[in-house]
Amino acid sequence: MQRSNDATGEADLIAKVAEAKTASLQLAMAPAVTKNRALKRVAESITSEREALIAANEKDMGAAMALIEQGKMSRALASRLKLDDSKIDEISRMVESVAALDDPVGRVTYSIKMDEHMDLFKLTVPFGVIAAIFEARPDALPQIASLCVKSGNAVILKGGSEALQTNRVMHSILAEALVAEGIPKGSTQLIEGREAVSMLLKMDGMVDLIIPRGSNEFVKFIQDNTRIPVIGHSSGICHIFVDRRADPENAVEICYDARVQYPAACNSMKVLLIDSSVAPSLLPSIAARLIEGGVRLRCCPRAKNILESRGIAVERASATDWVTEYLEPTLPVKLVDGIDEAIAHINCYGSRHTDAIITEDRDAAKKFLRMVDSSSVIHNASTRFSDGYRYGLGAEVGISTNKVHARGPVGLEGLVTTKFVLFGAGQTVIDYVGKNAKPFLHQRSGVEINGRY
């Protein structure tokens, strides 16, 4: 674990954030070609410096092994921490793929000729300084840093302490490559120690956005302890509702995929709702397939009766099951009397992340998709599709369950905000108000920025 003398102290943190802020104003103006060239150089440096990376990672792995022996770390965590040749190649390709994405900065999202020689533009611009706090995986730092640089943002990086040595080397390779290609010095900053995170959360004048990754408890802690906007979700209580007109095979296979394929995923099914009118005919086959996949079912009394009458033994659900995010393959099951009860249940107990309906009834689907208040709603497909890569967004910054700014899987567009830019020729408001006010033209077509920004 991290020793206290590694931690970033308050004065050091303030200096780093201030340097990032200054760099961010320059970085915001960096042309796409500079940012892409710099990212390609990062990709190259990561492969050419592979020995230094692996040596650093071996130190982290050594510390991890000692912790495993003491029972203080899981083997699963240690295996995610491991960096080898093929992982390094994968990281390098990932950074290159970020270089290949469209530049999210400088897109005109609104333009209008307010009057002659008075043109208004709404443009996408970087946030400024983003703080990213992430798990102990060697690919997390280069991924987040690449996305931030691509979107013109300076970034404060705080990784899991188990990856301390790897992150230090990774960051120095990355920072050097970026500066060598003209990215302002100080655009990426590495900080260490939990105390630094606590201080960072209070820097709402300096840090413009926080991206936390990690456990739900951790994300919730961040959301609850800062005034800085946060992109993320703290829980994924996702439902599948099997409607009375569900196709039986779809119901069985989609429920199986959504619960079994990756049980710990935020977008896996956490609660199954089934229409009581088809439960006697459909639930036994859905349940059999899930149990075959190793799922423990926890059923409402009516579902339990149906299954036990077919000789399928299941546990009884408790009241807290409807609000519990089981990350292991456990599944609470509830009978509902029709779609309205299903929608009400989801809107009441869900986490507004991703919910699906299985039905051949187009009107029922429409009602569900419209009335379920979640970031993703799905008809006849697995909840597991709710993901930035699968949604074609290129790279996923996170999945947001907020309604403001970015909702659902967030790509690079989540790392930019907008700014109004008005070009005038000496106009004053007094001419446009009162009795003899000049009218505005408010003409939408043919307004071009022509290198004025």
For tokens 């369950």, what's the residue?
401
Q: Does 380 bind a copy of itself (CB under 8 A)?
A: yes
Q: Does 97 bind a copy of itself (CB under 8 A)?
A: no
Q: Does 3 bind a copy of itself (CB under 8 A)?
A: no
Nearest one of 81, 57, 84 to 68, comparing CA atoms: 81
Cβ atoms 216, 326 nearer than 8 A: no
Nearest one of 333, 304, 341, 133 to 219, comparing CA atoms: 133
Q: Does 108 bind a copy of itself (CB under 8 A)?
A: no
Query: Residues for the chain: how many in total?
Result: 453
* Min CB(389)–a copy of itself separation in Å: 8
Q: Which of 27, 28, 95, 145 binds a copy of itself (CB under 8 A)?
A: 28
Site string for a copy of itself, 133-172 (x = CB under 8 A): ----------------------------------------
Compute CA 157 distance to the chain's CA centroid, rounded to the nearest angstrom.
16
Q: Does 421 bind a copy of itself (CB under 8 A)?
A: yes
* d(C-alpha 418, C-alpha 109), whole Å: 8
Nearest one of 336, 330, 327 to 318, comparing CA atoms: 330
Stretch of 6-14, 175-183, 311-319, 383-391 contacting a copy of itself, by CB under 8 A = 383-391
DSSP state at residue 230: B
Q: Which is nearer to a copy of itself, 133 or 136 (CB)?
A: 133
Pairing of strands 154-158, 129-133: parallel
Q: Which is nearer to a copy of itself, 294 or 424 (CB)?
A: 424
Backbone angles phi, psi at 285, to 5 degrees: -75, -35
Q: Does 450 bind a copy of itself (CB under 8 A)?
A: no
Q: Which of 74, 433, 438, 448 binds a copy of itself (CB under 8 A)?
A: 433
Q: Does 256 bind a copy of itself (CB under 8 A)?
A: yes
Residue 383 is encoded by which pair of tokens?
């909840």
* d(C-alpha 289, C-alpha 303), whole Å: 16
Residue 125 is encoded by which pair of tokens?
């611009």
CA 312, 315, 319, 323 dihedral sign is negative
Stretch of 142-150, 196-204, 270-278, 405-413 contacting a copy of itself, by CB under 8 A = 405-413
Per the DSSP assignment, residues forming a β-bridge with 211 are 132
Q: Does 417 bind a copy of itself (CB under 8 A)?
A: yes
Q: Which of residues 288-347 bind a copy of itself (CB under 8 A)?
A: 343, 347
Q: Which of residues 194-223 bind a copy of itself (CB under 8 A)?
A: 208-209
Q: Which of 14, 68, 118, 323 binds a copy of itself (CB under 8 A)?
A: 118
Nearest one of 263, 13, 229 to 128, comparing CA atoms: 229
Q: Which of 185, 202, 366, 438 binds a copy of itself (CB under 8 A)?
A: 366
Q: Does 124 bind a copy of itself (CB under 8 A)?
A: no
For tokens 């606590």, what's the residue?
198
Stretch of 64-72, 83-91, 305-313, 375-383 contacting a copy of itself, by CB under 8 A = 375-383
* d(C-alpha 441, C-alpha 172), whole Å: 53
* Min CB(243)–a copy of itself separation in Å: 14
* Min CB(183)–a copy of itself separation in Å: 16
Q: Does 439 bind a copy of itself (CB under 8 A)?
A: no
Nearest one of 241, 243, 245, 28 to 149, comparing CA atoms: 28
